[in-house]
Structure 1
Amino acid sequence: MGLGAEGREAGARGPWRLGAGCLDRELGVPKREAGVPEGRGPAPCIRGLELGIRAREVLHLHMEQIIQEKLAGRRSEEVMDAFDYMLSSAQDQGQSLSPQELKEMAVELIFAAHSTTASASTSLILQLLRHPAVVEQARAELHAHGLGSRCPATQTSGTQDRLDLDRTLDQTPDLERTPDRDRAWGAVPYLTMERLGRLQYLDCVVKEVLRILPPVSGGYRTALQTFELDGYQIPKGWSVMYSIRDTHETAAAFQSPEAFDPARFGPARSESKADRFSYVPFGGGVRRCVGQELARAVLKTLALELLSSATWSLASDAFPRMQTVPIVHPVNGLHVRFQSL
């Protein structure tokens, strides 16, 4: 997915920097033979690919045991995990999922839920550090919806949101009415997907972060039939790599693609809608990321929490250099100081 799902036809994506030591022991990788000089042997990228494939095999082995239990009906009715939801959703639609499909979806969820989302979250903080004017505009939107820091409960623009919150609290016994609840209103109140969906500018900010720094730089597709592209013949069965990052940087649909400009996704411009595949942080077509809406919701919630409760500044002398493989991340990390509002 753009947050993690490309390349299943082409096999394991790599090279993954999975480390050595305990991972080598877990995957059964033999140690360097005696007499072989340090530094000799397979190239780092080949070793990374080998470790990635073996790691996938270990994951699949554990998942097969879980899947067999699920398919045998040995699952709790009270506590449901991701496998349970996938199975019940398929059953509700009169479909069934094979063990192989379940394994692939589970691996996809693991990487989508961790590495790629962590990458996008880091990029979000980095871009907000670089663009204070965007921070101020996003905070203004939060205040307009009664979600900003130090936002009084009686503020006119937030009255409807406050009424919605009170109504929800009245109808939900588990959410106790206390003075602490009212004091908490100044930061982030009870949040619903509906209320999160009203934050259109914040949505544009998240989209622009994913355009400038897509967590996954590209993906693979298998050619189902021979075709021609710009005078080049692509034979049936070939694995074709497409570049998400290059597409975002060169697509004619985007004005000044090198600039960080969330307004390009606003209703006045809607640049990404000019061409179906000009904006593909989650891939495209029927194989696009199944978790894209969840990923956007996570990023918007993180942004809302930070914007409404903290300020932050760079803790290093300069902004870090970004590395694009295996996922986009700052070399040596992003060092930030946070201060509560």
Structure 2
Amino acid sequence: MPRTQFVAAPPAGSDLKQVSGPATNWIAQLLRQRRDPIAAARADEAAYGPLYVLNIFGGKWIIANGPEAAQRILMNKDRVFANGPAWAPLNGPFFERGLLMLDFDEHKSHRSIMQQAFGRSALTGYLDVLHRIAEQHIDSLPEGSVAEGDPVLMHRHLEQLTLDVALEVFMGVRLSRTEAAAMSRTIIDTLHAGAALVRVPIPGNKWWRGLRGRRTLEAFLGERITAARREQGSDLLSVLCQATGEDGTRLTDRDIVNHLIFLLAAAHDTATGTLTNMVFYLAKHPEWQKRARERSLELPARLGYDELGELTELDWILKETTRLFTPIQIEPRAAVADTEVCGYHIPKGSLVVVPTLANHYRTDIYSHPEEFDPERFSDERAEHKRHRMAWAPFGAGPHKCLGQHFAGLEIKTVLHQLLRKFEWEIPEDYVMPVDMNATPLPEDGLPVTLRRR
């Protein structure tokens, strides 16, 4: 029998339950979670109940499974769960005082200013840039064949595309291919450093590369703020430099640097990962590629804001892909006071984690959750509406991803163009090796056979 550990007992006379879990060392536990997070979550919930404690990164994490726990924690109506203290041990040095790290009134104030860059009018204004960059990249894609030994590595091409989008839409910047490749590496180093097992800077290790990436991004952004303050540009940086809050306050230069570092990393990585994973599923399920293409061919090459909503099948595929390969796999929060979740006692100071990826595979919500089945999101079935937290790939509540709608526009624009101009396939026996350290990404670049239509 494995040893059991506990968190603090509920107050005397309370009818709340005490959280328990396996007393496994944290490295073994982390490797187990990364190897097969769904199987690990199901086994632990069966053994210890919906809430259990794990040792991860040298601390105790209370894992709160299921949509009811997610709603209680993420909606945070009593303001008892904080983001900053929970994310800081994971990636605090890299995203210091970004929107992810702020809480309560300060977070609300900063978010209200930043929202001006993600409203409908701003998003509509970004579409011309999205279309132009998508067309340039997709028109220049090479053809290639897996069988003939010259496959097209789709992840690499999509990574370049999304970086160009992020740089031009966010900052009005265009880089050479060499500069863009270096910037992409810098962003990835910064984002992925939080998954390092060795969490001190040793030259060459992940933590060290993340800190170096942070410094590089600070310098890159700092050089551009003075001009953005002076000019009335339409890129996101210019909007943030001009935007004011309800009380007339503006973000400081340091605030803008902090927020843009997080936005650049999050937008670049999650958009690349989701696009790549959608390409994989459309290759693995050619009947869905055919259905999505037929809809795209019925519509103009360049779609407006509302027209993108007519890509029904592509919307289902996007939702199903982010269910199976969730961009934000976990949502950690720190309890700032004693509280309860689903009848369990949560002591002040506890790190509580909503396992979004595991929730997306729950058999009490989704039929055959391991299967790729986009129609589960159709109006007729609507499995994702069985609970408001059944599908939450971009979080929920006050910290729900600010760029969710921008990501949707970008992803649909790119896939719409790709479907109209190319067909692609993978060998029947191909199994995509996935790096689950941050946003799920293919370790082999996703080699496909790509043919121009």
**Normalized against structure 2, the TM-score is what?**
0.52
From 292, 295, 298, the equivalent of 1:141 is 295
How far apart, CA to CA, are the structure 2 residues paired with 1:251 and 1:97? Answer: 45
Quote the offset at 1:213 in angstroms.
0.7
How far apart, CA to CA, are the structure 2 residues paired with 1:315 and 1:90? Answer: 53
Contact kept? 1:12, 1:53, Cα under 8 Å: no
Question: In structure 2, what is the equivalent of residue 192 of structure 1?
Answer: 304
Q: Say which is worse superposed, 53-62 or 223-232, in terms of deviation.
A: 53-62
Residues 1:328 and 2:405 aligned together: no
Question: In structure 2, what is the equivalent of residue 88 of structure 1?
Answer: 242
- 1:17-47 CA-to-partner distances (Å, cap 9, x unmatched) read xxxxx99xx9xxxxxxxxxxxxxxx965654
Letter in 1 for 2:235: D
State how 1:76-225 maps to structure 2 within 5 Å. Answer: 76-77=231-232, 79-90=233-244, 94=248, 96-99=250-253, 101-143=255-297, 146-147=298-299, 189-225=301-337
Quote the offset at 1:329 in angstroms.
0.9
Quote the offset at 1:202 in angstroms.
1.5
How far apart, CA to CA, are the structure 2 residues paired with 1:142 and 1:130? Answer: 19
From 383, 387, 405, the equivalent of 1:275 is 387
How far apart, CA to CA, are the structure 2 residues paired with 1:63 and 1:298? Answer: 23
Letter in 2 for 1:211: R
How far apart, CA to CA, are the structure 2 residues paired with 1:103 and 1:248? Answer: 34
Residues 1:11 and 2:166 aligned together: no
- Greater Rg over alpha carbons, structure: 1
From 312, 335, 345, the equivalent of 1:233 is 345
1:255–1:137 distance in 2 versus 1, CA, 3 Å: same
Question: In structure 1, what is the equivalent of residue 213 of structure 2?
Answer: 55
- 1:292-326 CA-to-partner distances (Å, cap 9, x unmatched) read 01111111112211221111122796232212112
From 244, 249, 258, the equivalent of 2:361 is 249
Letter in 1 for 2:366: F
Question: In structure 2, what is the equivalent of residue 311 of structure 1?
Answer: 423
Quote the offset at 1:61 in angstroms.
5.5
Structure 2 runs not aligned, ≥5 long: 1-81, 94-181, 187-195
Quote the offset at 1:196 in angstroms.
1.0
Letter in 1 for 2:214: R
How far apart, CA to CA, are the structure 2 residues paired with 1:13 and 1:49? Answer: 11
How far apart, CA to CA, are the structure 1 residues paired with 2:221 and 2:341? Answer: 40
1:312–1:45 distance in 2 versus 1, CA, 3 Å: farther
Contact kept? 1:205, 1:262, Cα under 8 Å: yes
Number of positions where the alignment pairs a residue of Structure 1 with one of Structure 2: 268
How far apart, CA to CA, are the structure 2 residues paired with 1:100 and 1:272? Answer: 39
How far apart, CA to CA, are the structure 1 residues paired with 2:417 and 2:360? Answer: 28
Letter in 2 for 1:86: L
Structure 1 runs not aligned, ≥5 long: 1-5, 17-21, 27-41, 148-187
Contact kept? 2:334, 2:349, Cα under 8 Å: yes
How far apart, CA to CA, are the structure 2 residues paired with 1:195 and 1:237? Answer: 47
Question: In structure 2, what is the equivalent of residue 340 of structure 1?
Answer: 452
From 230, 235, 240, the equivalent of 1:75 is 230
1:214–1:7 distance in 2 versus 1, CA, 3 Å: farther
How far apart, CA to CA, are the structure 2 residues paired with 1:13 and 1:130? Answer: 34
Contact kept? 1:14, 1:49, Cα under 8 Å: no
**Normalized against structure 1, the TM-score is what?**
0.68
Alignment identity in percent?
27
- 1:125-157 CA-to-partner distances (Å, cap 9, x unmatched) read 0011111121222233334xx23xxxxxxxxxx
The structure that is helix-richer by fraction is: 2
Quote the offset at 1:8 in angstroms.
4.7
- 1:253-282 CA-to-partner distances (Å, cap 9, x unmatched) read 322211111111111122222212221111
How far apart, CA to CA, are the structure 2 residues paired with 1:268 and 1:215? Answer: 26
Question: In structure 1, what is the equivalent of residue 77 of structure 2?
Answer: none
